[in-house]
Each structure stands twice: as structure tokens, then as C-alpha cells.
């Protein structure tokens, strides 16, 4: 048994330390202190490591190279805290991708169905995890003939509500809504090799933010498909 103040060795019947004069705690007091510390520890740990919700984030980090949508495409914060992921399912009539939040992996936040039409793909977006008419958000389309790839997003009434401006293949572009930039994509936003950054207007609502995130990932998928077709 040793003094908690100076470390001097104590006898079992000592009430005060002969070296520093500190009071020696009884066995009952020591046990109560230990139990109290053990009880409080889990609360402190859960507070320290509380995870941010994917839907509340407006700044993301994504991998530059997407080898396969059958693998998970991790969605992270700038400090590389993983918030969620995209995962695809490859089928003959088209590919389906879903966005998942790590806080709730029982329900997808967004579903995107890719349908290949002639020389281009059309992407249909649904809120949640099911491809239902009442969950239909709109479509991302590409202009067939253009020097640089041009994309836009249409609502269910086929009205263009978002356009993409900049060099998509170089991962340096913005997404505009009502003539205003609402998201920016750039490899140089974050100085981490093999990744690119996405920044959004902090005033975007949660549903629009998740839609924009889906659009960005699908555009990156288009870039990877275009590059692989050249070889």
C-alpha cells in the first residue's frame, strides 16, 4: 500500500502518511471512488466520439479513383472521418447506386439508377432506398454532341433546375441552381493525395445537399467511364 500523494510505503493501519502527512483513504473510500470513475467513463467517451451526421455535413472528401461501384465509395469529412458511402449493384438492364449514412445503415438516403441510352447514360434519382414514382426526384442528363461534356439536372416536370459549369473531367467545376453556385468540386480543395473535395453552400437543405452529393459522384463515375473507354 502506498501514499497517493508522495508514493511512500504505508502500513495497513496508518491513517496519515508519515512522509507527507496526507490522510490515508480507507478501503471503503477507495472502492467508492473507483466505482464512481468507472460509472462516469462511458458517458465521457460517447460524448468525445460522437459522429457527425452525413446529412448535416456540407464539406466532403472523396476518393479520386473509383475502381468499381461494386466496392464502397467512402464519403468523408475533410479530416477523414467517414460519414457514409455509395455502393452500386451491377445488373444487365442498368446499374443502381445507393447512398448510405453510417449512423443508419438500415435505410438508404438516395438511390440512383443508371440507364445506358445509345452513346450516353441517363441517371434517375430517387429519395430513399426504393425506385418508386412517389420518390422520384429527377434526372441528370448529358448533351450528346459538345466539345466538352455538358450536364444538367431536371425535375420531374423536365425543367432544368441545376447545371454544371467548368471542367468536369479535370474535377474542377461548380453546380449552379437559379444562376447561383451552390457547390464546388476541385482536386485542389484538399491537399490529400488521391482525393478530391466537395464544398456546398451551408444554407442548402439536407435533401438538396444529398442530391448534389449524388450528382457529383455520378459525374465522377462518368469521368472514369470515359477515360476507361479510351484504352
CATH of the domain at 130: 2.40.160.200
Answer for the pair 99, 109: CB distance below 8 angstroms, yes or no.
yes
From 50, 71, 87, give the residue that closes a domain.
50
Give the lowest-confidence range in 65-69, 124-128, 165-169, 173-177: 65-69
118 and 67 in a common domain:
yes
- State whether 37 and 108 are in the same domain: no
Residues 27, 140 within the same domain: no
Mean pLDDT, the chain, rounded, equals 77
- Give residue-wise pLDDT tens across range 37-71: 444 434 332 333 345 688 899 999 887 655 454 55
Say yes or no: 42 and 60 in one domain.
Answer: no
Regarding whether 36 and 71 lie in a shared domain, the answer is no
Q: How many CB atoms lie within 10 A of CB 54?
A: 25
Alpha carbons 35 and 42: distance in angstroms, whole number: 12
Residue 109 sits in the same domain as residue 203: yes
How would you classify the pairing of strands 110-117 and 120-127? antiparallel
User: Same structural domain for residues 103 and 3?
Assistant: no
φ/ψ region of 16 (left if φ > 0, alpha if ψ in -120 to 50, else beta) reads: beta
Q: What percent of the chain has pLDDT over 90?
A: 35
- Asked if 191 and 100 sit in the same domain, the reply is yes
Residues present in the chain in total: 231
HSE on the CB side for 123, CA within 13 Å?
23
Residue 209 and residue 162 share a domain: yes
Confidence of residue 120 (pLDDT cuts 50, 70, 90): low
For 29, the domain range is: 1-50
Same domain, 41 and 62: no
Q: What is the pLDDT of residue 144?
A: 73
| Domain shared by 123 and 163, yes or no | yes
Strand partners, 160: 154
Beta strand ranges found along 8-128 (DSSP E):
59-63, 73-76, 82-91, 94-101, 110-117, 120-127
Domain count, the chain: 2
Whether residues 76 and 128 share a domain: the answer is yes
* Other Cβ atoms closer than 10 A to 25: 14
> Could you tell me the pTM of the whole model?
0.71
Nearest to 171 by CA among 122, 223, 123, 225: 223
Lowest mean pLDDT among 61-70, 73-82, 117-126, 212-221: 61-70
Amino acid at each position: 500500500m502506498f501514499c497517493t500523494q508522495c508514493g511512500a510505503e504505508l502500513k495497513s493501519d496508518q491513517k496519515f502518511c508519515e512522509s507527507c502527512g496526507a490522510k490515508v483513504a480507507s478501503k471503503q473510500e477507495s472502492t467508492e471512488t473507483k466505482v464512481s470513475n468507472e460509472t462516469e467513463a462511458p458517458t465521457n467517451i460517447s460524448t468525445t466520439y460522437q459522429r457527425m451526421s452525413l446529412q448535416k455535413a456540407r464539406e466532403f472528401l472523396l476518393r479520386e479513383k473509383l475502381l468499381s461501384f461494386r466496392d464502397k465509395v467512402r464519403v468523408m469529412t475533410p479530416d477523414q472521418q467517414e460519414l457514409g458511402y455509395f455502393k452500386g449493384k451491377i445488373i444487365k438492364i442498368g446499374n443502381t447506386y445507393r447512398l448510405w449514412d453510417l449512423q443508419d445503415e438500415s435505410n438508404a438516403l438516395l438511390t440512383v439508377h443508371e440507364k445506358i441510352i445509345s452513346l450516353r447514360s441517363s441517371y434517375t434519382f430517387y429519395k430513399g432506398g426504393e425506385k418508386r414514382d412517389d420518390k422520384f426526384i429527377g434526372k441528370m442528363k448529358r448533351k450528346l454532341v459538345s466539345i466538352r461534356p455538358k450536364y444538367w439536372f431536371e425535375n420531374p416536370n423536365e425543367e432544368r433546375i441545376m447545371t454544371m459549369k467548368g471542367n468536369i473531367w479535370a474535377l474542377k467545376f461548380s453546380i449552379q441552381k437559379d444562376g447561383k453556385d451552390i457547390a464546388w468540386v476541385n482536386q485542389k480543395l484538399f491537399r490529400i493525395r488521391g482525393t478530391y473535395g466537395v464544398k456546398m453552400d451551408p444554407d442548402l437543405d439536407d435533401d438538396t445537399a444529398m442530391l448534389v452529393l449524388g450528382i457529383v459522384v455520378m459525374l465522377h463515375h462518368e469521368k472514369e467511364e470515359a477515360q476507361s473507354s479510351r484504352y
